[in-house]
Amino acid sequence: MKKHKLWFIVVIAVISLLGLAYAEPTVKINYNYYEIRGTTAEKLRQEMNLSGPLDKDEKRYDAETKWHVSWKYWFGKSRYECWINRVTTEVEVTFTMPRWKRSKKMSKELEQQWRSYMEVLQEHENGHKNFGINAAREIERRLTSLGSMRSCNALENTANSIANKIIDKYIKIEIEYDRRTDHGRTQGAVFP
């Protein structure tokens, strides 16, 4: 009889721990496109150089990914302490990509070259998206594991400070990603 009680307690403990599993962030994806035209690779390149998104240093790129992480948490309270009992995060991702307005004069080779380029470019941009998602996951994990404090205001300040530091960390990682990949070039995101 005691073995069954112990087994039951172990099962309940495991189920309780599973309840502490972190939820995946909600991810919203948006696309902005800028149109380009042309019947040669050179003309397409010229148009992307003229119309691609500008970064903060006024340099143009073929594509851009921006992400924004928001977080919410709910407190549990007792007379003497406050703790976070639930955290949710949301990541809003906006891709800005070229859209080729094709003409009937284009060659099959150019179309295939463009398709291959767009696949690799999207793969590089997905790397940027993943930094936002990973930041959100870390925020959920870190805030959920914060201990209790005497004041909910102090806990709120600590939680927001931690979340903002995580965002800053992933922004730095993202900058290094672009430096290491030369904005996707080392991954094959080169056209033509």
- pLDDT of residue 20 exceeding 60, the answer is no
How many helices (H) and strands (E) the chain has is answered by 4, 3
Q: Is residue 3 part of a domain?
A: no
Domain span holding position 67: 20-187
End-to-end CA distance of the chain: 74
Residue labelled with tokens 């941009």: 125
Task: Kindly report the pTM of this predicted structure.
Answer: 0.85
Residue from 125, 93, 119, 109 nearest 28 by CA: 93
pLDDT tens, residue by residue, 138-179: 999 999 999 999 999 999 999 999 999 999 999 999 999 999
Q: Is residue 12 part of a domain?
A: no
Q: Is residue 34 part of a domain?
A: yes
Q: Is residue 144 part of a domain?
A: yes
pLDDT tens, residue by residue, 84-107: 999 999 999 999 999 999 877 789
Confidence of residue 48 (pLDDT cuts 50, 70, 90): very high
Q: Is residue 15 part of a domain?
A: no
CA distances, 122 to each of 64, 128, 190 (Å): 10, 10, 12
Q: Is residue 9 part of a domain?
A: no
Percent of the chain past pLDDT 90, that is, above it, reads: 83
pLDDT at position 18: 40
Q: Is residue 5 part of a domain?
A: no
Exposed, middle or buried by CB within 10 Å (0-12, 13-18, 19+), for 16? exposed
Cβ of 80: how many Cβ atoms within 10 Å? 7
Mean pLDDT, range 31-47, rounded to an integer? 96
Mean pLDDT, range 11-36, rounded to an integer? 72
The count of domains in the chain is 1
Considering only residues 120 and 19, tell me which one the structure prediction assigns the higher pLDDT: 120
Dihedrals φ, ψ of 39, to 5°? -115, 0
Q: Is residue 192 part of a domain?
A: no
